[in-house]
């Protein structure tokens, strides 16, 4: 699968632009602030139904306009036909996603059909940010190949919101209805246990892929990811029962998979505290490449790989290793942004790939 053409109308800084792409490597160059990253973000919309950098869709509408539209033509491998995907957002209205002019009833139905993996400087939030950021990353990765997991996650989050609202109401009114709360608690425990089991199984399968790839780029370092969850300690229903008094006082659910976290380590030390910026960036790049490989294995389909400004803080050796990886037959369509056209030309000089250079 690859993206053959994209049209952006009133999307961020673009009034109306159409770009045609190579099925292999597309390099987008230009000055900072010119819109290179916005082009990748538009591709992410067509894949994941939302932006990578800002989930507030209204902010992606060009200033002074009433809507944005993104239209993309996708080609499936070994076929001649194209599939047109359109994402349209009007001000104060719900977002619409269409495939060949047919609108989805639920946006979640689209996720995973046209998978993509984005690598961005903002990924440092996975290391330096709060647990919510890391949790969202792994949830997004799993959702691209497990629709049941995505549905369970959506329903679980709704249940937690209902339960929290009920706890707040009981606390404010100084009252309590055990039966009413137990309905939400039981559903929360059931779905939460299923989510925990999928996350645990995913990490067990994912780690060998991640470690193998990391050894290719940085063989002298050992890395790992540890899944931290309340459910490692006890049955979810028991945890909720034990935590009730604390939940009642806090007016929200204090335990559950919505509090899970993932610990990143290198040579047995937390990456956040003991690793250089270059080491952190290498870890994050390999994390995403492992995600790419894992999705490909499960879906037998090449995701689109989006590399936004990835060369900063990487030494020349690691840059060359990265380029050699992504232009190999193991990867499909690749998009790379960079401010230096000359650097891109030098990196791909002599490499026999279908390079498409777009200068904005």
Domain chopping of the chain, boundaries:
1-115+301-360, 130-300
Name the helix (H) or strand (E) containing 116.
strand 116-119
* Number of neighbours of residue 291 by Cβ within 10 angstroms: 24
Q: Write down the pLDDT at residue 265.
A: 96
At 264-297, the pLDDT tens digits run 999 999 999 999 988 999 999 999 999 999 999 9
The domain 1-115+301-360 belongs to what CATH superfamily? P-loop containing nucleotide triphosphate hydrolases (3.40.50.300)
Q: Is 144 helix (H, G, I), strand (E, B) or coil?
A: coil
Radius of gyration of the chain (CA): 22
Instruction: Determine the topology of domain 130-300 in CATH.
Output: Glutathione S-transferase Yfyf (Class Pi); Chain A, domain 2 (1.20.1050)
Rounded to 10 deg, the angle between the 316-326 and 277-299 helix axes is 10
Tracing tokens 């894949």 back to the chain, one arrives at: 47
Q: Which of 7, 26, 27, 30 is nearest to 17 (CA)?
A: 7
Q: Write down the pLDDT at residue 355.
A: 86
pLDDT averaged per 10 residues in sequence order, the chain, 360 residues = 96 96 94 94 97 91 97 84 95 95 94 95 94 96 95 97 95 84 95 98 96 89 95 93 93 96 95 91 94 94 94 83 87 94 88 87
Q: Write down the pLDDT at residue 315.
A: 82
CA 329 – CA 353 distance, rounded (Å): 10
Phi/psi at 294 (nearest 5 deg)? -65, -45
Q: Write down the pLDDT at residue 79.
A: 67
Q: Is 221 helix (H, G, I), strand (E, B) or coil?
A: coil
Answer yes or no: same fold for 1-115+301-360 and 130-300.
Answer: no
């Amino acid at each position: 699968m690859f993206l053959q053409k994209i049209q952006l109308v009133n999307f961020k800084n673009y009034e109306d632009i159409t770009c045609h792409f190579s099925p292999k490597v597309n390099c987008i160059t230009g000055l900072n602030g010119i819109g290179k990253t916005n082009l990748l973000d538009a591709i992410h919309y067509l894949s994941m139904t939302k932006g990578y950098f800002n989930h507030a869709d209204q902010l992606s509408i060009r200033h002074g306009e009433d809507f944005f539209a993104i239209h993309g033509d996708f080609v499936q491998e070994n076929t001649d036909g194209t599939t047109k995907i359109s994402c349209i957002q009007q001000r104060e209205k719900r977002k619409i996603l269409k495939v060949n002019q047919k609108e989805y009833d639920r946006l979640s139905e689209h996720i995973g059909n046209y998978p993509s993996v984005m690598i961005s400087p903002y990924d440092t939030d996975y290391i330096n940010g709060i647990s919510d950021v890391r949790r969202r990353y792994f949830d997004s990765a799993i959702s691209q190949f497990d629709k049941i997991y995505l549905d369970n996650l959506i329903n679980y989050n709704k249940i937690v919101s209902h339960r929290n609202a009920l706890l707040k109401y009981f606390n404010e009114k100084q009252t309590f209805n055990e039966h009413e709360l137990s309905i939400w608690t039981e559903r929360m425990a059931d779905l939460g246990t299923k989510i925990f089991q999928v996350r645990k199984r995913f990490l067990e399968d994912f780690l060998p892929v991640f470690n193998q790839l990391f050894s290719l780029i940085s063989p002298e370092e050992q890395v790992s990811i540890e899944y931290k969850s309340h459910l490692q300690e006890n049955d979810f229903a028991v945890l909720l029962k034990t935590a009730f008094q604390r939940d009642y006082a806090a007016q929200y659910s204090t335990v559950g998979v919505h509090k899970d976290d993932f610990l990143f380590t290198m040579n047995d030390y937390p990456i956040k505290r003991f690793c250089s910026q270059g080491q952190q960036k290498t870890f994050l790049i390999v994390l995403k490449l492992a995600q790419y490989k894992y999705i490909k294995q499960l879906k037998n389909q090449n995701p689109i790989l989006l590399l936004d400004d990835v060369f900063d803080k990487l030494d020349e050796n690691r840059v060359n290793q990265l380029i050699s990886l992504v232009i190999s037959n193991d990867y499909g369509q690749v998009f790379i942004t960079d401010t230096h056209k000359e650097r891109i030309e030098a990196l791909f000089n002599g490499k026999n790939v279908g390079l498409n250079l777009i200068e904005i």
